[in-house]
Amino acid sequence: MSAISISQAAVLGVVEGVTEFLPISSTGHLKITEGLMGVPVDDTSVVGFTAVIQVGAIAAVLVYFRKDILRIVSAWGRGLVDREERYHHDYKFAWWVIFATLPIVAVGLAAKPLIEGSLASLWVVAGSLIVGSGLMWAADQMGRHKRGEDDTGFKDAMLVGCSQILALLFPGFSRSGATMSTALILDLDRVAATRLSFFLGIPALTGAGLYELKDAVGAGVDTTPLLVGTVVSFVVAYASIAWLLKYVAKHSFNAFVVYRLLVGGVLFALLGTGVLHA
């Protein structure tokens, strides 16, 4: 029998869609929601389920940025056969995304038992939410927000890509929070930082979802809950992406910092009083 019902899958799909690209930690919110619903957080099928429904959110990115992605992929393809095309920014950017994904893949495979074991604790999530909010606040204050997307280089992509490892090892830190904060420290403006976070997340999250698919199905997650959770996460994530890009164009990340601190504090309280179990 599946550890996740259809109604629970729909709720988790909403949570995934809302939080995947906001810098507030989708993993942390999913674990909190699972705990509140009585879903076994450390169950293999549940771990696989949460990874698979990320594919729905990633599909939303692919659809939302389809023109940009097609332009970049086309430039990369042309550059493989035409030397002149290799001077174009899009061709270089495609390679940067590929290279920037390699570190998180290597760490993810090497540290998989640890990531799914002791680091999956809700205590880690609570602490990471608070520590990550401090980094985000500092980055937003330090950054000069003077560089646009066309000003990014190989070093930017690698540093931002490697920052994803923080969220991989410490659920609650937030992949988007880590990447956006790193980009801000590198003086990218908020929109450029957000878009770079999106593009670098596509291969990493897609790979994780596909890798976990066999484990999710093999561990007893029914196909229907998986489908429901994935479709719901796609629809909600699409709306979340559109909203976030408009928001960061005019606002700082302070609202996310405050929200993370509140959630982290509440989570510590729930764990300390026994309402939730780590």
Residue of 190, 195, 233, 248 whose CA lies nearest to 72 = 195
Strand blocks (E) in the chain: none
Q: pLDDT, tens digit, for every residue of 5-56? A: 899 999 999 999 999 999 998 888 888 898 888 887 667 777 778 878 888 9
Domain boundaries, the chain: 6-272
Q: What is the mean pLDDT of the chain?
A: 89
DSSP string, 10-58: HHHHHHHHHHTTTTT-HHHHHHHHHHHTT--TT-HHHHHHHHHTHHHHH
Q: pLDDT, tens digit, for every residue of 75-85? A: 999 999 999 99
CA distance 22 to 225: 24
Q: pLDDT, tens digit, for every residue of 131-152? A: 999 999 999 999 989 999 889 9
**pLDDT grade for 157, boundaries at 50, 70 and 90:** very high
Q: pLDDT, tens digit, for every residue of 214-262? A: 666 665 667 888 899 999 999 999 999 999 999 999 999 999 999 999 9
* Residue at token pair 């990471």: 128
Long-range CB pairs of 59-68, under 8 A, 24+ apart, other chains included:
59/234, 60/17, 60/233, 60/234, 60/235, 60/237, 60/238, 60/240, 60/241, 61/21, 61/198, 61/201, 61/202, 61/237, 61/241, 62/202, 63/238, 64/238, 64/241, 64/242, 65/198, 65/199, 68/199
